[in-house]
Amino acid sequence: MAVDKVAILTAGGLAPCLSSTIGRLIVQYTKLVPDVEIIGYLNGYKGLLEGNSISIPDNVRTSAELLYKFGGSVLGNSRVKLTNVDDCVKKGYVKKGENPLEVAAAQLTKDGITILHTIGGDDTNTTAAELASYLALNGYNLTVVGIPKTIDNDVTPIRQSLGAWTAAEQGAIFFENVANENTTSSRQLIVHEVMGRNCGWLTAATAYEYRKRLEKKAFLPDIRLSKERWDIDAVYIPEIPLDLSKEMERLVQLMDEKDCINIFLSEGAGIETIVAEMESKGEDVRRDAFGHVRLDELNPGQWFARKFTKLLRADKTLVQKSGYFARSSAPNDRDLELIMASADLAVKVALNGQSGVIGQDEDENGKLGIINFSRIKGGKPFDIKQEWFQSLLKEIGQIR
């Protein structure tokens, strides 16, 4: 197909893949169609609505591999739902009476965009699908190819979202330092709050990575440097109901034995209970443009810590969140390999005029391919029956 102009945007929260994916897309387009113009919309759909973009100059195109080594998004992000008209008006992205889809479509038309790459989670890519559908109904042919990123790893039917492996590894590195806080007090409770709204994959994977790293360390128990004190005692995720009385009986015994407790907590665990409690007190529960509760303002870790501190008779309690540390990292080698393969395929299918989302399709045994937008859904639960996770729970004594 004749390609006039390619646009790239990133949206949603950060993940360790955004800048590197942008870099790989630039590298591939420069290699395959060196004359094509590439622009980036700044701060996601916000930039598209406002017509705020930058052209990718030649010196960037020849050095785009440098982006592989950086986290964040060089184009910037935002949380904008084009079909949430009231929110777009409230934030000043469109004027009252305007349809954000129309405004976005008009901007793409004005800019002469024929290929749009959206790098984001399920919300980002379903928004892209809505935009492409709107344009098609209005006679404008736009190829939209999404690339899935989310550290939650909760997009259906995609086996592995970009950046999730790295986020788990970085969360483990984060807790390697935090775990040393167990030496600051007797009966110490440490709650490691990990990102993950409805899916416990990241918390589980972070715990798994941490324990793998722990296995490589040497300990000296005779001077209170025992592996048990640095190990994880509980992993709480949305997919597993918490029997508080049963857990307290187990954890109190552990606290008495080793003088500290380390808990890995998914920020989405117990959210319904926390929200219900807040609303019953008349407290405001803030939500984003997509209707999601703002978990960073809810502080689930603090809520659990207050309850556990009393029950465990903890002398000191520490709640630490690894989310921003983990999600803002550059990708590790394993993720970068998947990022490059995904971006390469995204360019290939885009040049063939195919729209969809690139991902490891679970219905095709994890084969990397292009997935129809209609199949993309968020909130995929973590499969707790996986052998590695069941083994972890047994090893830490959470299940028998």
Residues belonging to the active site: 152
* Rg of the chain in Å (alpha carbons): 23
DSSP helix/strand/coil, 315: coil
Report the distance separating Cα 208 and Cα 119, nearest Å: 27
- Both tokens assigned to 105: 């479509």
CA distance 199 to 155: 10
Exposure string of 342-363, with b = 16+ CB inside 10 Å and e = fewer, is bbbbbbebbbeeebbbbbbbee
Tokens representing 47 are 């930039």
Identify which of 45, 8, 37 has the alpha carbon closest to the alpha carbon of residue 25: 8
Q: Decide: 142 and 113 in contact? Cβ < 8 Å.
A: yes
The Cα–Cα gap between 192 and 322 comes to 7
Q: Which residues lie below 8 Å from residue 387, measured CB to CB, with a gap of 6+?
A: none
Distance of alpha carbon 128 from alpha carbon 120, whole angstroms: 10
Burial of residue 220 (CB within 10 Å: 0-12, 13-18, 19+) is exposed
| Three-point CA angle 373, 45, 35, nearest 5° | 80
CB atoms within 10 A of CB 141: 10
